[in-house]
Amino acid sequence: MIKALAAGVPTLAFLDTGSTTTVGNGALMDIAIQRRGVTSAWTETQLVSLTGQMPDGRLAALKRLKLDPISLINLPLVFGPVHTFDYWGTSDRPALLLGMDVLSIFETVLLDYRRGAVHFQLSRSSVDSAMS
């Protein structure tokens, strides 16, 4: 689990290398709407789980996701009732699954098991282009 800030609220984030899409739970969606932390444009969609289930989802852009020290702006994600949130006991508090759409942004994602930490590193070229 990674501590993150989504829509200015402490949020639990899980790395999900098996998912192509970043998914937020209902608790995060409710808070993000209340705090105006998501864009107003929504698209109804469906998620497809590994078990073949197809829960309904809502695609939106989260205005800001902070993964210290990096902030991601206007991050597309799908809000939906994914079983993983129930499994980890996080359905009632803000949580998200970071899919490969987000993880592939980084040049390096380092898992430090001894310290229980995750380190994200952007490539120098992506930092330069973001600053110009």
Q: Which amino acid is at 69?
A: P
Query: Is 83 in contact with 19 (CB distance < 8 Å)?
Result: no
Please write the tens of the pLDDT for every residue from 25-54: 999 999 999 999 998 888 888 888 767 778
- Is residue 19 within 8 Å of 78, Cβ to Cβ? no
Q: Which of the listed CATH numbers 3.40.50.20, 2.40.70.10, 3.40.50.300, 3.30.70.20 matches domain 2-107?
A: 2.40.70.10
**All structural domains of the chain with their residue ranges:** 2-107
- Model pLDDT for residues 2-23, shown as the tens digit of each residue: 889 999 999 999 999 888 999 9
Q: Is the pTM of this model over 0.75?
A: yes
